Chain A
Amino acid sequence: EAGVVQSPRYKIIEKKQPVAFWCNPISGHNTLYWYRQNLGQGPELLIRYENEEAVDDSQLPKDRFSAERLKGVDSTLKIQPAELGDSAVYLCASSPRTGVGYGYTFGSGTRLTVV
């Protein structure tokens, strides 16, 4: 079975430009997470989806970040405009359903560098 697929793997953009990340979760996984991992830190949750519904986006900076999960499968995370402080690794993870007991499967992440 294919794992969680993310693209692109790397992205370098100038500040104030827009950027988008894509995630394809494991087939049949209803719950999808976007995490941000700053250098030298652990991942921090940005948003959690149950199917196509965003059920926890309290940590998402909504002035510049947006996300969608159309049809409850693939998801896109967008930043517009990007700031220098957005440089980080953006990780997507999925699980069969909500609840930490089900465990996450992480993708390889997208490393964003804003210059």
Chain B
Amino acid sequence: AQSVTQPDIHITVSEGASLELRCNYSYGATPYLFWYVQSPGQGLQLLLKYFSGDTLVQGIKGFEAEFKRSQSSFNLRKPSVHWSDAAEYFCAVGAPNTNAGKSTFGDGTTLTVKP
């Protein structure tokens, strides 16, 4: 069965500082990997996704993530955080099978941005 672990429940960074959110997954092969962001009272918005190929993927809002097969990780990064990035971030894994539409989500990391 697929699973996702986000080790950090809460992270606080200063505005302008760099950010890295950790994500580890469990899956028998190379899965599809996603990062979503959820602002208070809103649904989840897709930031970026990895299917195959280049292990460094670029997303919206200046975010990027790197797939590391040897570490079963898909960490999210941003070089300079803005106050508007404060939100909850979810990593998700999905099976690359066209008959399976289910994604499994981690429990999220809450990002606080200090002025």
Chain A residues proximal to chain B, CB less than 8 Å: 4, 9, 31, 33, 40-45, 48, 56, 91, 93, 95, 98-101, 103-109, 111
Give the segment of B11-19, B68-76, B79-87, B89-97 that binds chain A: B89-97
Select which of A42, A107, A109 is within 8 A of B106 by beta carbon.
A42
Contact B98 A99 (CB under 8 A): yes
Categorize the interface residue count of chain B: 20 to 34
A33 to B94, CA, bound (A): 14
Nearest CB of B to A44, in Å: 7
Select which of A4, A44, A105 is within 8 A of B105 by beta carbon.
A44
Select which of B4, B36, B42, B100 is within 8 A of A100 by beta carbon.
B100
Contact B44 A98 (CB under 8 A): no
- In the complex, which residues of chain A have a beta carbon less than 8 angstroms from the beta carbon of B105? 42-44
Known: A41-B108, A99-B97, A100-B94. A109 touches B43 (CB 8 A): yes
Select from chain B the residue with minimum beta-carbon distance to A33: B101
Select which of A42, A44, A99, A106 is within 8 A of B100 by beta carbon.
A99
